Structure 1
Amino acid sequence: MLFQSSCYLIVHPDTQWKTWTESQQYCKQEKADLPVIGSQAEQEFIHNHTKEYYDDYHGYWIGLTDKAEDGKWLWVNGSRQNLTAG
């Protein structure tokens, strides 16, 4: 799916749940990456194209990690987390 200048593949696997790292590796293998959400509109686009799950074995990963050297949240493209709950 195309949104603005980015292309998205939202995977609804029937296979076993992947960890964040496994999901990131899968994306890299496909020459892609987990999404970096840069705007409210992009967040709404992703939300509108995903199913809601109510168990511990389904869900979605985004490209946000707390593996920055200072312990703060960092997107996979190296930028700082810039969205707030609202």
Structure 2
Amino acid sequence: STSVNLSSFICLSNHCGRCPQGWRLLNATCYYFSDEGLHKRGWEQSRQDCVNKGGDLAVVDTQEKQKQHQILQASRLGYWDGFWIGLKDDHTEGVWKWRDGASLERGHWREGEPNDFYSAEDCAATYPTSKPLEAWNDAPCNHPLKWICEMSP
């Protein structure tokens, strides 16, 4: 029997299946890790940068995605280099929702997190750690951090 690759017929652009320069392809999704030196932003400004690039803040809704992001972060960053992800609890404290409105099914929080320590920690960030499934921390949304964007190739 003959196998036909339909994607080669459906793809009308020479960029199909590829990520823009500076983005990494992981399991059919393109990811951008902000690496602009010491330049960091709040959650909203980070999200706007992702939108300007044609994507949005990353939704890390599986263990596999979390582990992949940890590998990429740990390869180039220090312990305190957090990255914003597309998760907030700004409408109802303790009710975490992804930027698309989906509820958080399972978080990958550091021990003792989320703790709303400053009574205004409504945005989530992921940090490099030796325990990839315990990497998230809640932080004030205006806190300057790096960020992870995602988009379809």
> Runs of 4 or more off by more than 2 Å in structure 1?
51-55
The count of residues paired between Structure 1 and Structure 2 equals 83
Pick the aligned partner of 1:53 from 53, 78, 81.
78
Gaps of 5+ in 1: none
Measure, in 2, the Cα distance between the counterparts of 1:2 and 1:16.
24
Alpha-carbon distance, 1:45 to partner: 0.4
Alpha-carbon distance, 1:84 to partner: 3.3
- 1:1-86 equivalences under 5 Å are 1-50=24-73, 51-55=76-80, 58-68=81-91, 70-71=92-93, 72-85=95-108
Where relative contact order (Cα < 8 A, 6+ residues apart) is larger, the structure is 2
Gaps of 5+ in 2: 1-23, 109-132, 134-153
Structure with bigger gyration radius? 2
| Secondary structure in 2 matching 1:9 | strand
Measure, in 1, the Cα distance between the counterparts of 2:39 and 2:68.
26
Alpha-carbon distance, 1:67 to partner: 2.5
TM-score (norm: length of structure 1): 0.82
Amino acid at match of 2:36: P
Query: Share of identical aligned residues, percent?
Result: 27
